[in-house]
Structure 1
Amino acid sequence: MTPDVLLRAENLTRHIAGKTLLDDITLDLVAGARLGLVGPTGSGKSLLLRSLALLEPVDSGNLLWQRAAVTNDQATIYRSQVIYVHQRAAAFEGTVETILRQPFQLKSHRDRRFDRDWIVDQLATVARDAAFLDQHHEQLSGGESQLVALLRAIQLSPRVLLLDEPTSALDRQSARHVESIVMRWYGDAPDRRAYIWVSHDPSQADRVCDSLITMHSGQIQSRQTTT
């Protein structure tokens, strides 16, 4: 049975100051995909992810969600299903629990409730207990801040995660913790979810991805299967 195409980018192009940053990018992200995005710094990886998340405009091309074009009216729903996780955690304030509760104040998530027990269960997989929820943002290490950012995203049960080097500034143990959280989210519904993971670490790409796209100068240079 052919997997469903969750997200399709068709001929995405972006120019700034006469320079082509995305050059006719086309790709499909199917349900179950664990796609790695690699390439040198400045090759367009982050810009592509941000464009897929509707955080950056494109000059031409189309974005489809489950085979239907994403319109301005559908942007809010789309962003609830396709979530971008930056390589540096955003500067949220308050306790960890306050930070995690904030998305549920948004109109697009008001029909959902913060599940503290679920969060505590997730924390247990990375050797932290419920007391972690009481820590203030100023007490968090870089790795802990990234962990909170990731939990903030996956608690919303998105279909797609766009992971922009989420472990680039972390030590090995913290990086593995972030990986384990993503793998658990994916493993809860592997036939319905997918992710794109930007990484400069070949060993990490081997662990977390089953296919790779290499970018260079805003173009897709090659595609390969890693498993």
Structure 2
Amino acid sequence: MKEIKLFCLPYAGGSADIYARWRNYLNSSIELCPIELPGRSKRAKDPYYKSMGEAVEDIASFVKNETRNSDYAIFGHSMGSIITYELICKLYQMGLKLPIHVFFSGRYPPCIEKQDKNMHLLSDDELIHEAVSMGGIPEKLLKYTKLVENAANTLRADYTILETYGHSPHIQKFDIDISVLSGTNDELATVEDMKYWELYTNKSCTFYTFEKGHFYLHNNAETIVKIINNTLLATE
């Protein structure tokens, strides 16, 4: 059976580590390739991205080098979904091999314009408070001052590239099957919002919902990976 690489992009403030548990459930023919963004974990000394364009350029170069002889898929959650979309646009423009499947999770497509909070303009305390209230940072970690400081810096950098990216009424359609995953109680990306992703493909679009909020993926690793396994193995 031919191996498929699964590239995973995190939400704002997240690192590649959020996908580590998926290795316990992935089919042996699927290689987990979580993409680490600068300013965290193994790339802690690398400067944060300054724009969506810079992020996409860097990640496109990485994917190009990693997929010369491999089929691959991409999973992006929240901010990771927007990066994923722009990444596919970039790969298409470069004439490179496109993914066999894309999973968009926890973020509505760029054609939707919303007046959200400008998170990158909040104070550190406000930023951390918002992240805790949404479930992105466990409250028990707040006692670690240095950890909280690093988290605030990472959140601010990520929200800066996401919120200055804005929205785009132009819809780029691709000949790629996609799956759309969302939490039924996600106030940031409602199930109705997520339905608009079907406008971005000329092929199939399958929807999955979970009885949680924005960070539903933390409590549903096994179920999510089962969906990924079934979806990608069906393409063989």
**TM-score when normalising by structure 2:** 0.29
| Larger relative contact order (CA 8 Å, sep ≥ 6) | 1
- Point out the structure with the larger strand share: 1
**TM-score when normalising by structure 1:** 0.30
- Point out the structure with the larger helix share: 2
